[in-house]
Homo-oligomer: A and B are copies of this chain.
């Protein structure tokens, strides 16, 4: 089993992600995955030690995708915290729309299939990257210093993910997605912004 992404590794991952997004992890069989990938049953086990090994691989893929999109959006070059947050909101909503089911599965599958350390290692770069940006704006004096950036990232991602999920899962608030985003922006800013009124 090689982990350095070969062509077939990626094909299996693509197939797996699209199937799990459609039917959930447990309702997706290895044979469906290999069929969609157009490869042979046995070949799967040349690239993944087991079906369960897909979970961290998928998480990795999503984290990388999120960061790539964030950099394409030039989040770290945002002029001010408001613009940055606006971009982050877009990012989280996009990712959630694309990987909704997968993400929820990843949360539920985490503890059973793998060690938590493994998961933390996977998500760490993403968190670190965001913390760094928050720090920038703290230094610039746009954001408060009190909850440290770890917490800020945690809270921000928390509401954003949950809200995006609610938006796409239950299609209530339908059409008002933009209003939700606006409310979120305001809510988070109020929570973290330096009191500029004083």
Q: Give A contacts to B, CB under 8 Å.
A: 23-27, 101, 104-105, 107-112, 116, 119-120, 146-147, 151, 154-155, 157-159, 161-163, 165-166, 169-172, 180, 183-184, 186-188, 190-192, 197-198
Contacts and interface: CB of A to CB of B under 8 A. Distances in A.
Contacts of A151: 180, 183
A187 B191 contact: yes
25 contacts: A24-B112, A25-B26, A26-B26, A101-B108, A104-B107, A107-B108, A107-B165, A107-B169, A108-B108, A110-B169, A111-B169, A119-B170, A120-B172, A147-B186, A151-B180, A151-B183, A154-B166, A155-B187, A157-B162, A158-B158, A159-B159, A159-B162, A161-B162, A190-B190, A190-B191
